[in-house]
Chains A and B, each alone.
Chain A
């Protein structure tokens, strides 16, 4: 166990957390992914960081990309940890990056809370993203509706 690198240790911990939560995941040597219907969560531990990324399965057509950027930017100031961005200019993606020191790891509880934040981000903004993606709402309308839903 002592010979394990930080990355290896994190890999094991993440799997443990996911298995405890009975979550389905795919795993390579470097990367863990959780497939959901509308989005995928990708988890990448390294020796000095943990990155968790939730990205939509669908991309945004060029005509709605500006409006999507505005929607994601409305959301960012109200989020404390993590942020939304449009990956490659076309795919809505929520990213949390945790910098780790050389000798400290993360508790399972913290890994679980980062995952919960990822899923919560989509719960809050998923519908708004779809509405803007299909041209059904402006960024302002979609954001307002998302805020009202949270308030309810």
Chain B
């Protein structure tokens, strides 16, 4: 692993320590992972990018995947940095940061990535949960729950 990659891993660890969060590190694959009650997230340090992935700890039943796709598409419409997707009945948020043209990723950016994923996951969780349980449609979850909360904030 290159020196810049090692440095980036150290920066990520420092950010998580500052927030007093528990994490696991896989130095060989360049992965730093942290688990939370509602989601797990990981940073993947790659030669050409820093990939951030957040997985919501809730499986989407097959019959509600269509509604969940509608909800995620609505959320993507208001999310600038990163996007949400559904893979194997699980909801992911992914954010890609290019490193080819800028090997160094600032501490500010690392914290910002973490903040975007975490805040979004908390903000959208109730809507996602209710769609998973078939309580509301994707459309209603977005308009009546998420947009309402966004307006309040």
> Hey, which bits of chain A sit against chain B, CB under 8 A?
49, 51, 66, 69-70, 73, 76-77, 80-83, 85-89, 95, 97-99, 101, 104, 106-107, 109-110, 113
Chain B residues numbered 89-116 whose CB sits less than 8 Å from any CB in chain A: 92, 94, 96-98, 100-102, 106, 108-109, 112
- Taking the complex as formed, is B51 at the interface, i.e. its CB lies under 8 A from any CB of chain A? yes
Chain B residues numbered 67-125 whose CB sits less than 8 Å from any CB in chain A: 69-70, 72-73, 76-77, 80-81, 83, 85-87, 92, 94, 96-98, 100-102, 106, 108-109, 112
Contact present for B80 and A106 (CB under 8 Å): no
CB contacts (< 8 Å) of A70 on chain B: these are 66, 69
B56 to chain A, nearest CB (A): 15
- Taking the complex as formed, is B49 at the interface, i.e. its CB lies under 8 A from any CB of chain A? yes
> Hey, which bits of chain B sit against chain A, CB under 8 A?
49, 51, 66, 69-70, 72-73, 76-77, 80-81, 83, 85-87, 92, 94, 96-98, 100-102, 106, 108-109, 112
B99 to chain A, nearest CB (A): 11
Contact present for B85 and A109 (CB under 8 Å): no
Q: CA A86 – CA B94 in complex, angstroms? A: 17
B145 to chain A, nearest CB (A): 18
CB contacts (< 8 Å) of A95 on chain B: these are 83
Considering only CB atoms, which chain A residue lies closest to B105 in the complex? A101
Between A and B, 6 residue pairs with Cβ closer than 8 Å are: A66-B66, A70-B66, A89-B73, A95-B83, A104-B102, A110-B98
